[in-house]
């Protein structure tokens, strides 16, 4: 069995083979481009969602910070009214006892004047 090919048969086979390879390459490239477009779209969607979540987190953090600042200012306002320092308690105790001692001294002097008279 012997196959004889003429030049134009060989050229046409080569041209058709190259055309088939080109078509196959185009299909492969189209699939590659589609896959890359899908990947970029997914990345863009993820980036947008992450941006939204980040903005929400920043806004909630700002609200929390404002609330903490408000609570801190309220605490600074209430602290002088509610907090009683040890020195203040000692001073009040000594003043009260000094007044009571002075009153006891006056009562003793009245009792002594009444007993001698």
**Does a structural domain hold residue 45?**
yes
Question: Is the domain of 26 the same as that of 52?
Answer: yes
**Does a structural domain hold residue 72?**
yes
pLDDT digits (tens, 9 = 90+) for 1-17: 788 878 999 999 999 99
Question: Is the domain of 52 the same as that of 21?
Answer: yes
Question: Is the domain of 69 the same as that of 98?
Answer: no
Question: Is the domain of 51 the same as that of 65?
Answer: yes
> Other C-beta atoms within 10 Å of 113: how many?
9
Cα 35 to Cα 83: distance, rounded to the nearest angstrom: 68
pLDDT digits (tens, 9 = 90+) for 34-77: 999 999 999 999 999 999 999 999 999 999 999 999 999 998 88
Question: Is the domain of 66 the same as that of 89?
Answer: no
The count of C-alpha atoms lying within 13 angstroms of the C-alpha of 43, restricted to the half-sphere facing its C-beta, is 6
- Judge whether residue 89 has pLDDT over 90: no
- Judge whether residue 98 has pLDDT over 80: yes
User: Residue 92 belongs to what domain range?
Assistant: 85-117
Structure confidence at residue 94 (pLDDT):
95
User: What is the DSSP code (8-state) at residue 5?
Assistant: -
- Judge whether residue 117 has pLDDT over 70: no
Cα 114 to Cα 43: distance, rounded to the nearest angstrom: 103
**Does a structural domain hold residue 6?**
no
């Amino acid at each position: 069995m012997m196959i004889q090919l003429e030049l134009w048969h060989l050229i046409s086979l080569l041209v058709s083979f190259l055309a088939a390879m080109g078509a196959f390459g185009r299909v492969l490239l189209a699939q590659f481009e589609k896959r890359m477009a899908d990947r970029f779209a997914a990345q863009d969607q993820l980036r947008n969602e992450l941006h939204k979540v980040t903005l929400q987190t920043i806004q909630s953090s700002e609200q929390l910070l404002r609330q903490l600042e408000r609570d801190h200012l309220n605490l600074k306002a209430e602290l002088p009214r509610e907090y009683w320092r040890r020195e203040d308690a000692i001073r009040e105790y000594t003043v009260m006892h000094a007044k009571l001692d002075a009153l006891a001294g006056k009562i003793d002097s009245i009792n002594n004047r009444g007993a001698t008279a």
